[in-house]
Amino acid sequence: MKIDRKKYAIIVAGGKGTRMGNALPKQFLTLNGLPMLYYSIKAFRDAFDDIEIVLVLPKDGISFGQMVLKAFDERIDVTIVAGGETRFHSVQNGLNCIVGDAVVFVHDGARPLVSADMIRRCYKVALQKGSAIPVVAVNDSMRIEDDNGNRPVDRSKLRKVQTPQTFLSELLLPAMQQSYTDAFTDEATVVEAFGKQVFLTSGANDNIKVTTIEDMFVAEALLNHRAHIER
């Protein structure tokens, strides 16, 4: 196995963000004056200066990609492709840009607080084990509800899954050629359905997914906290 490999980041932002209640998809809304997608792109560039970034956007929102890139002080090379009917199909479209053996990161565009340190950690684990799925422990009490009522769940065994989900290309690309099913909620479930094991690594509690207006306020507060620490 190569010690170093080509690197691709597939940043998936092909959704409509309807839960935000805004005409503009959430991935193009601003956090502290910058487009949400700016932060994910910057994190991957900070992690590896040789990484190739593929930005997957809604078919009717391709032009917004240029708005995101203009937020950078200097020119940045990013490949922009149109998303598909589901996340699965959007990722497939992004993976068409992969050439040769590589480590592939698949990241939610709505997770703007991913850090360069986490990205590098996922890379190292994927090189060693073939995949790296960042997760964090569940702190809340959990219950499961079914036709027989509800019952508690042992939260010590539960993990919240984050991104970037990271894979060797020779593992992810063949798995993504499977026919789509509703059970494919992320790339880990796709790879498992292909008969391959996935490996977990530590995520970060501040690597939140922005889904609601309240999440926007939390993300801005976390960004401000980071900026204060880095001064």
Which of 160, 152, 155, 176 lies closest to 12 in space, CA to CA? 176
How many other C-beta atoms can be found within 10 angstroms of the C-beta atom of residue 97?
15
- pTM of the model as a whole: 0.93
CATH superfamily placement of domain 6-230: Spore Coat Polysaccharide Biosynthesis Protein SpsA; Chain A (3.90.550.10)
Bridge partners, residue 132, by sequence: 166
Domain boundaries, the chain: 6-230
The larger pLDDT score, comparing residue 215 to residue 1, is at 215
Give the pLDDT of residue 116: 97
Cβ–Cβ < 8 Å for 209, 136: no
pLDDT tens readout for residues 22-35: 556 677 789 999 99
pLDDT tens readout for residues 141-183: 999 999 999 999 999 999 999 999 999 999 999 999 999 999 9
